[in-house]
Amino acid sequence: MVLVAAGIFIRYEIVSPARAAARDLEAINGLTVGKTTEAELLGRSAFQKMDRQCFQADCLYHTERTNRLLSTLRLAPFTFFGTRVTVRDGMLTQVSVFMANRSLPALSLTQKVALPAECASSPCVKRAILPSKAVVGVMVLFNNESELRNRMMEAAQPACLSRLRGCSTYDELMPLSKGLNLQADAR
């Protein structure tokens, strides 16, 4: 009986981060920066329970998921998966998904009202580079008119949190990245 209970607990600890991350993606799917209000956001039950931090006119709703058990047992590299919704004066200004593991520079998928001047198209891929020229992340930016905002649940792969050996490529972490050649941008 004890072994069965331990088995159920271990299985729960392995799959629960991926299930929670999938719910996080579902919560942010379809949000439109510059059009969705904070009142509409709070109409979604997930945001009523989500961690919220406010700094003057800005409020952040965020989630963080990790594969704690698998990484502790060294069955997969430590993997982080997070979401963040930024609200300013009652209007959504940014929606982001972050993914990172120890084998790749961090990856983010961010919806913004206006893209930086150096982004000629939506989506736009930018590298986050330190002064030492080391790439620490790859950012995929898109505007509020992009269809990506309605495809967040298929954009990122939360199952990476529950896989033995994890996910080792951007195509595994973010299936929609296949046409964006992110591996080359990470160098």
Q: What is the mean pLDDT of each run of 10 residues along the chain (187 residues)?
A: 77 89 92 92 91 90 93 91 93 92 85 84 79 79 84 85 86 75 53
User: If we measure between CA atoms, which residue out of 127, 124, 120, 103 comes closest to residue 180?
Assistant: 124
Report the pLDDT value the prediction gives residue 150, as an integer from 0 to 100: 82
Position 167 scores a pLDDT of: 85
Cβ atoms 99, 173 nearer than 8 A: yes
**109: which residues sit within 8 A by CB, 6+ positions away?**
96, 97, 140, 142, 148, 152, 155, 156, 174
What are φ and ψ of residue 137, in 5° steps? -175, 160
Q: What is the pLDDT of residue 182?
A: 62
Half-sphere exposure of 166 (CA within 13 A, CB side): 28
The pLDDT value recorded for residue 180 is: 64
- Angle at the Cα of 152 from the Cα atoms of 147 and 157, rounded to 5 degrees: 135
- Which candidate, 112, 115, 98, 110, places its Cα nearest to that of 35? 112
| Distance, CA of 3 to CA of 17 (rounded, Å) | 22
Predicted pLDDT at 41: 92
Say what the pTM is. 0.84
Q: What is the pLDDT of residue 101?
A: 85
pLDDT of residue 25: 92
